[in-house]
Amino acid sequence: MLNVEFKESDEPNVWHEDVKEFKVTDKTNGRTLGLFYLDLYPREGKFKHFAVFSFMDRRVKDGKTYLPICSMVSNYDKPTADTPSLLNHSDVETFFHEFGHLMHTMSNQANYARFGLSGVLRDFVETPSMMFEKWAWKEEVLSKLSGHYKDPKKKLPSNLLKRMIDAKLLDVGILQLRQVAYSLIDLVYHTEGAEDTSAVFRKHFSETTGYMMPEEVKMDAGFGHFVNPGYTAGYYGYLWSKSYAEDVFTKFEKNGFMDSKTGTEYRQKILAPGGSLDPDDMVISFLGREMNTDAFMKSLGLDND
């Protein structure tokens, strides 16, 4: 769909035997875009969550182009001699999410490293990853990926996928209010400050969601985004990026989920600039109009009419 090709390295330069190395090539011109690593399975001392880490962002210096290098880290169950690494649908969706970040890094064509993934505005940096999740809900995609581990020819049944889609909006209001609460708490922490962070968390969480949190629960102590330098006062970016992602995806809904022409244009106009252009300008270039929240509201099951 993005008109790129992945080639696994025969002699990878890796930090562990489980890690795989891939070269990414632009199929439209044959040029190498970059190098990435997949570090999929847990082990002692490894990062415990899911993320994409850049080793080097693309840059041009003294007439020489340095290509991006990054890794996608996850913690899926490691396959055994008898059982493959079995992913549930949520795992697949997470893989697509992180791979969206990875392709954002690989597709970068900016001349300065500061416009790499870390230089994308917080309002927009989650857009490619959240949009990539949409493909994990399309039957034509899942039919290529899914299969019973004892008989790969048995794909995810259409009626089961339909039931999954029908249940997708279950508790969506609660989930959105939770995101609003987190965003608000993050802003309060980094603007007004808080002597008792737990008390501030409980106050705003209960006022926003309607759920009371017991005093002995210290949820703020385990929420890393609040103290992560990349997210401070920027957690709201998840909701705003979701709005961008739903709107950008409307072009794929119109032209086809696997349409390579649309995918190539998306890569060139949304991913390639990195942080060098304003997100609104990139969206206008891709969609031919200004961004709106209609698709986002629809994704919540709300009728804009």
Count Cβ atoms below 10 Å from residue 258 Cβ, excluding itself: 14
How many angstroms separate the CA atoms of 20 and 14, rounded?
7
193 Ramachandran zone, left/alpha/beta (phi>0; psi -120 to 50): left
The angle that helices 172-191 and 197-209 make with each other, rounded to 10 degrees, is 140
Cβ-based burial of 237 (10 A; exposed 0-12, middle 13-18, buried ≥19): buried
Residues 6 or more apart whose CB falls under 8 angstroms from that of 56 comprise 66, 67, 68, 69, 70, 113
Evaluate whether 245 touches 97 at the Cβ level (below 8 Å).
no
DSSP 8-state secondary structure symbol assigned to residue 151: B
How many angstroms separate the CA atoms of 44 and 135, rounded?
32
- Cα distances from 70 to residues 40, 98, 99, in angstroms, run 14, 12, 11
Evaluate whether 107 touches 282 at the Cβ level (below 8 Å).
no
How many angstroms separate the CA atoms of 180 and 183, rounded?
5
Dihedral sign (CA 192, 125, 73, 114): negative
For this structure, is 290 an active site residue? no
Structure token digits, residue 262: 């649309």
Among candidate residues 5, 11, 17, 98, the one labeled active-site is 98
The angle that helices 172-191 and 237-255 make with each other, rounded to 10 degrees, is 140
Catalytic residues: 98
